[in-house]
Amino acid sequence: MSKIGYIRVSTENQETARQQEIMCDYQVDRIFSEKLSGANTDRPQLHAMLDYVREGDTLYIESISRLGRSTRDLLNIIDTLNDKGVSLVSHKENIDTQSPTGKFMLTVFAALSQLEREQLKQRQREGIEIAKAQGKYTGRKPIPTDWVKFEQLYGEWKAKHITGRDFMRRMGITANTFYRRVRQYEATHGITEQTIT
């Protein structure tokens, strides 16, 4: 029987020190740690942890929000743990799923966590609508484009001297922005060939 810790923060800028201390207090044998949003279910360390745990193990987390943000995702993870015979201890909520009360409380806290998240998103939407009505919100500012550099790289890309990935890296843009800029450039210059490699 092993004690396993799972640590998560939402962004690269956030620190895991507080969660690390909690794991030390529990004297866990192994920690899986990552810096990704809880809304993202495709988390490598989460999957690695779920693959690693075995019957009789106990998973320790700082709070249930570390595992997942939506009730559905959280309960799916809990079901996986239950199917493997793994207990869960959540420090913040003082939940231990080895007891029926702990299992019930986990479901309640998961629902409350999702409700809090949905209310926050609703307040953000309402704030944006108010700001728009007052003319104070214009959305995200467009990413400026160096069209001279873009045109040069476009020529190299079309001549197959560089890949699309090289193009994006040298322009410092994402794939979505890249394809949008290519369409914009080709439409402006009357280029009808849409082959993108």
Give the 3-state secondary structure of residue 125: helix
HSE (CB half, 13 Å, CA atoms) of 6? Answer: 30
| Tokens, residue 149 | 């550099």
Concerning whether 10 is annotated as a catalytic residue, the answer is: yes
Q: Residue 181 corresponds to which amino acid?
A: R
Q: Is the dihedral of CA 125, 127, 133, 135 positive or negative?
A: negative
Residue of 2, 10, 33, 70 marked active site: 10
**Quick one: the chain helix, strand, coil %, rounded to 5?**
55, 10, 35
Strand 87-90 versus strand 95-96 pairing type: antiparallel
Question: How far is residue 97's CA from residue 88's CA, in Å, rounded to a whole number?
Answer: 5
Residue 96's DSSP bridge partners are 89
Q: Residue 28 corresponds to which amino acid?
A: V
Catalytic residues: 10
